[in-house]
Amino acid sequence: MLSASTCALVVLLAAPAATPAAPSDMSPEPANSAADEPQEFRAARVDISGFDEAAVLAALRLRLPRLPIERHGGPVPGESPHLYLQLSRPADDRGALRIITSDGRAYERSFPVEIGQEVRVAASTAANLIFAVEQGAVAPDEEDVAIPPPATAEPQPEPAPPVAAPPPSQAEPTGPKVQVQKDSSDAPRWELGLALHGAAVLGVGRKVYGGPFAGAGGGIGLEVRSPRGFAAALEARAIGQAEAGVGLGRLRIAVAAGYALRRGAFELPILVGLAIEPWWVTRDGERAPLLAGDDVVAQPPLLGGFLRLSPGYRLQPRRHLGLRVGPRLEVGGSFVVDEHEGPRVVALADAIGVPRFRVGGLELSLGLEVALQFGLPSR
């Protein structure tokens, strides 16, 4: 019995201790500022300078797909809370960021800019700060700050109404109008060229009298080329050969015409010409008559024609000055007109009948040519 009474007393004494205690001064208080509470912005207006505006806007919309983002300007967003975002670039390697919320809180940040990554850095920094402001994770730098109004473009002056031209009167001059000449400094011009060449001439045929070598020498020519490529030339060529104290000299005067193809630095004149070529015989370096037995034989000049190709590389050291260098190839034929036998090729032998030279016939000329070209003044 004593044991039971003792237990009942313990229960009665312990019961009041189980009642809740009155609140003490150590209990937590509710938050005092609404700025620390999470919130979600409904719209954003962005003002960008110093960055690619279109690229930064696209990058922001990609990082914040739920937030309507537009350029700063136009009507104020109808839903709140909203924010104003200003991105600027005070230096090449520094960017500045400023956010102002619709309730007047302002946040400012400065961030480094990496060349080539400007859009990514600016958009990421802005998106991170917007998210932190929404979560209440950062304190505002200023409060009671108003969102600046959008900059208004200066009104453009209205264009003046067109003034109707007055009707012509008898007092006005009726003479010819003055035409303004166009600048023709870069227009294609006629060109005048001075050409020098050296060549060896070979006789062509199954059996060439006196051997295939027909002489060697050089010449000079005057060329003209039109802007469309037409070309003409006047030239003189002297060649000679000697064997066993006997020599043969030839001087050809020719005119030619054709086309000079030009593609970049490559030039190819293609000319067809007519020629007259006096010739003479020498003995021991002195001019000598041509003998047939004891009779002196006349030496009528050669008459002929030729086809000439002069492919070359064309340099242009100055605007209207050119220099062409390249090979010279020519195929031609010539003959003398004898008053008794008509056109023929002349075969020459020495005093004992050894064949020495052939004068005329089909010939091939191979050589090198250099031409200096000048642009003629335009009218």
Which pLDDT tens digit goes with each residue over 312-367?
Answer: 999 988 888 999 999 999 999 999 998 888 888 888 877 677 788 889 899 999 99
What's the confidence (pLDDT) of residue 26? Answer: 34
Share of the chain above pLDDT 90, in %: 39
What's the confidence (pLDDT) of residue 253? Answer: 98
What's the confidence (pLDDT) of residue 353? Answer: 72
Residue 50 has pLDDT above 80, yes or no: yes
Fold of 37-135: Rossmann fold (3.40.50)
- 10 Å CB burial of residue 269 (0-12, 13-18, 19+) is buried
Q: How far is CA 125 from the centre of its chain?
A: 40
Q: Which residues contact 250 (CB under 8 A, 6 or more apart)?
A: 215, 238, 239, 240, 277, 278, 279, 302, 359
**What is the mean predicted confidence (pLDDT) over 236-249?**
91
Identify which of 84-93, 278-287, 329-338 has the greatest average pLDDT.
329-338
What pLDDT band is residue 277 in, cutting at 50, 70 and 90?
very high
**What is the mean predicted confidence (pLDDT) over 298-315?**
94
Which of 112, 121, 116 lies closest to 94 in space, CA to CA?
112
Residues 218 and 197: beta-carbon distance below 8 Å? yes
- Collapse the DSSP code of 318 into the 3-class scheme (helix H, G, I; strand E, B; otherwise coil) and give the result: strand
The CA-CA-CA angle for residues 13, 19, 21, to 5°, reads 120
First and final C-alpha spacing in the chain: 146
What pLDDT band is residue 29 in, cutting at 50, 70 and 90?
very low
Q: Which residues contact 5 (CB under 8 A, 6 or more apart)?
A: none
Q: Confirm whether pTM is higher than 0.85.
A: no
Q: What are the residue ranges spanned by the domains of the chain?
A: 37-135, 191-375
- 10 Å CB burial of residue 223 (0-12, 13-18, 19+) is buried
What pLDDT band is residue 378 in, cutting at 50, 70 and 90?
confident
> 């009642």: which residue's tokens?
19
- Domain 191-375 indexed as CATH 1.10.8.80: no
Residues 338 and 290: beta-carbon distance below 8 Å? no
| DSSP string of 46-101, one letter each residue | EEE-SS-HHHHHHHHHHH-TTS-EEES-SSPPSSSSEEEEEEEEEETTEEEEEEEE
Which range is least confidently modeled, 15-19, 45-49, 297-301? 15-19
Which of 157, 167, 196 lies closest to 372 in space, CA to CA?
196
Identify which of 28-37, 102-111, 281-290 has the greatest average pLDDT.
102-111
- Collapse the DSSP code of 114 into the 3-class scheme (helix H, G, I; strand E, B; otherwise coil) and give the result: coil
DSSP bridge partners of 273 = 256, 306
| DSSP string of 142-178, one letter each residue | BSSPPPPPPPPPPPPPPPPPPPPPPPP-TTS--SPPP
Q: Which residues contact 4 (CB under 8 A, 6 or more apart)?
A: none
Could you count the other beta carbons within 10 Å of the beta carbon of residue 25? 4
| DSSP string of 1-52, one letter each residue | -HHHHHHHHHHHHHGGGGSPPPP-TTSPPPPS-GGGS----SEEEEEE-SS-
> How far apart are the C-alpha atoms of 157 and 58, rounded to whole Å?
34
Share of the chain above pLDDT 70, in %: 80
Residue 370 has pLDDT above 90, yes or no: yes
